[in-house]
């Protein structure tokens, strides 16, 4: 994009902090300073865990929640790029053969225009120079997790919601980094990991921007 065009874009659509709305950047210094970064992998309590580990950059605090909300529901795609950088520069991303992401159902994808997890994963793939491969499809347009009440309801509602969308030989014996925006119970990551492992993946590591309930 030429300098003039980017200047016009900056004037008409200035960058705003995804949390407080202040003009200047997608994450202002004040909100950045409020983030609670995680130094250890996230502990996930699941009956049958298909994930080698789950790493997250920060806790799902009020600021983080509003940044992710702006990314998803106000469709500010560039915030996904900023969050991928945050993840890359604040955590030790394990080296894997491939990077993939939790898919959106096609209806949800059409509504939103993009999959926020794919935006983060693709930028992470660019930064780490690991190949991004879209491996999964979501076959059931599930109810939003937060509206599902109890933890056990959230843990059990995802059975058979995901399917492999490529040939299994493309993931066979490969280590995979599975990216999503938020991890709560870990059930979404785990269901995706189950499909990948069942189809021959060697290992799956969950990787999200935030962790929280
Ligand atoms: Zn801010």
The per-residue pLDDT string of the chain (213 residues; one tens digit each, 9 = 90 and over) reads: 677 887 787 777 789 999 999 999 999 999 999 999 999 999 988 889 999 999 999 999 999 999 999 999 988 999 999 999 999 999 999 999 999 999 999 999 999 999 999 999 999 999 999 999 999 999 988 765 545 555 555 555 677 899 999 999 999 999 999 999 999 999 999 999 999 999 999 999 999 999 998
* Cα 68 to middle of ligand 1, angstroms: 13
* Cα 24 to middle of ligand 1, angstroms: 9
- Quickly tell me which residue has 């990551």 as its tokens: 189
Domains in the chain, number: 1
Q: Is residue 16 part of a domain?
A: no
Q: Is residue 4 part of a domain?
A: no
Domain assignment of residue 83, given as a range? 35-211
Q: Is residue 1 part of a domain?
A: no
Q: Is residue 147 part of a domain?
A: yes
Q: Which residues have C-beta under 5 Å from ligand 1, the single-atom ion?
A: 17, 19-20, 22, 28, 31
Q: Is residue 6 part of a domain?
A: no
What CATH number does residue 182 fall under? 3.40.50
Q: Is residue 194 part of a domain?
A: yes
How many Cα atoms within 13 Å fall on the side-chain side of residue 99? 24
Q: Is residue 153 part of a domain?
A: yes
* Cα 16 to middle of ligand 1, angstroms: 8
Q: pTM here?
A: 0.89
Q: Is residue 19 part of a domain?
A: no
């Amino acid at each position: 994009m030429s300098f003039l065009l980017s200047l016009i874009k900056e004037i008409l659509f200035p960058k705003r902090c995804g949390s407080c709305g202040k003009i200047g950047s997608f994450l202002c210094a004040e909100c950045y300073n409020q983030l609670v970064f995680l130094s250890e992998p996230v502990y996930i309590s699941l009956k049958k865990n298909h994930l080698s580990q789950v790493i997250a950059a920060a806790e799902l605090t009020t600021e983080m929640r509003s940044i992710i909300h702006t990314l998803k529901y106000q469709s500010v795609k560039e915030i996904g790029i900023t969050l991928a950088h945050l993840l890359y520069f604040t955590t030790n991303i394990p080296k894997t053969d491939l990077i993939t992401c939790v898919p959106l159902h096609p209806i949800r994808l059409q509504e939103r225009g993009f999959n926020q997890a794919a935006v983060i994963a693709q930028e992470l793939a660019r930064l780490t120079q690991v190949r991004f491969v879209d491996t999964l499809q979501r076959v059931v347009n599930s109810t939003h997790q937060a509206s599902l009440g109890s933890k056990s309801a959230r843990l059990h509602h995802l059975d058979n919601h995901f399917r492999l969308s490529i040939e299994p030989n493309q993931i066979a014996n490969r280590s995979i980094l599975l990216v999503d925006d938020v991890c709560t119970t870990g059930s979404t990551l785990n269901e995706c990991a189950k499909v990948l492992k069942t189809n021959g993946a060697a290992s799956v590591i969950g990787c999200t921007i935030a962790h929280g309930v």
